[in-house]
Amino acid sequence: MHSIKFIRENKEIISNCIRHKKSDINIDDILDLDLKRRTLIQEVENLKAERNIINNNISNKKKNNEDCSDLIDSMKSISVKIKALDNDLTEFNISLEDKLKYIPNIIHKSVPIGSNSNDNKVVKEWGVKPDFDFQPKSHLELAEILNLLDFKRSAKISGTAFPLYVHNGAKLERSLINFMLDTHIDKHKYIEVFPPFLVSSNSPYTTGNLPKFKEDMYYIENDDLYCIPTAEVPITNFYSNEILIEKDLPKQFVAYSACFRREAGSYGKDTKGLQRLHQFNKVELVKFVRPDDSYKELDKLLSDAERILQDLNLHYRVIELCSGDLSFSAAKCYDIEVWSPFEERYLEVSSCSNFESFQAQRGNIKYRNSETNKLDFVHTLNGSGLATPRLMIAILESYQNKDGKVNVPDLIKPYFGKDLIV
């Protein structure tokens, strides 16, 4: 969260950021509230100074056995005013802090300015689109032929948008998760963690999910806990309220988790099959880095996520998000989109973001700078490495045969135990 001092000193930068990220927060209202708050602080300080003078005068009069009843009455009157103003000041502080929570992160200067996804920039394409001598089937058709998914029974159990993987579908899902974890651990040297799926409100506040996106989260009222929308939330809070040792940076973690999203503003969008779900599986990558290294580490993070698709020989592209498509917390973000042969379009499987110090400030995650010997906030990064639903779509559709059977990608075979899904 940006400090009010930073906002006062960088009004134009913040205003541009709010405008480009299409936020509805009013910076002038915040600065006006801050001005009233500072005026009130000055008034309280003046009254306290006056009270101190009166108190000294009372002491002197008492030493000289002089009557000081009028001074005592004046001091009591001032104390009442101070108490009332302190109460007002508390309300001002609460209101100001609440508004500051809704100010988005500053956009990095390299981010292209644009309104929506149409203004995003394609920075890379890898591989070739599959070429079939038959009309390719959708992942839903293939899942039905091969008995991989049971949406009818999952709807009976939980409602819509909760997938039920069965038989080889469950095995393929598990195989993909284990393959991705092993790749990131063994080849990219991430430290594996297995985080809790329920978190207190402090954790999603750190990552920027709260309070702005509360409606998109599942909340358990009796326990005051939230279901995680991604493993980013618990892992980013791994070091909350801690001071890291500079020579130990970067710290990088990988985790599998189920992810839970109400998607309150997304009903009716990409609802077929595995495209948009309330619960799904994902392997997440999170980094804690020195500020000077954060964009170099973003490139590495992106490369680590890309490797999964390269190892699976799936055609994909990398998109640099424009300002209008950038998330609340991100300073810069790349999306990785895999090709769907049936739909003939790209599907997002990963977002790789640099949050700079935005999350670290909210979570109070610092390190001691060896050059200045001062405490600075670390930079945090995260990316999907990868999310499984659309990855599953791409594999089923890209590796399908005319008879509806699906070849297993070479590097998944040791996990799956078969060459063919039948």
Domain containing 94 — which CATH number? Answer: 1.10.287.40
Answer yes or no: is 112 within a domain: no
pTM here? 0.92
* pLDDT < 70 regions, the chain: 264-271
Query: Which two tokens mark 400?
Result: 């399908």
| Residue range 276-287, pLDDT digits in tens | 999 999 999 999
Answer yes or no: is 108 within a domain: no
Looking at 66, 100, 134, the residue that finishes a domain is 100
Looking at 100, 135, 157, the residue that finishes a domain is 100
Same domain, 90 and 131: no
How confident is the model at residue 302, as a pLDDT? 98
Answer yes or no: is 107 within a domain: no
How confident is the model at residue 267, as a pLDDT? 52
Answer yes or no: is 170 within a domain: yes
Q: How many domains does the chain have?
A: 2
Structural domain for 81, as ranges: 4-100
Answer yes or no: is 105 within a domain: no
Indicate which CATH number applies to the domain containing 343: 3.30.930.10
Same domain, 161 and 94: no
How confident is the model at residue 270, as a pLDDT? 61
**Backbone φ and ψ of 126, nearest 5°:** -135, 140
How confident is the model at residue 160, as a pLDDT? 93
Answer yes or no: is 110 within a domain: no
Looking at 45, 70, 100, the residue that finishes a domain is 100
Answer yes or no: is 215 within a domain: yes
How confident is the model at residue 374, as a pLDDT? 95
Answer yes or no: is 109 within a domain: no
Same domain, 57 and 124: no
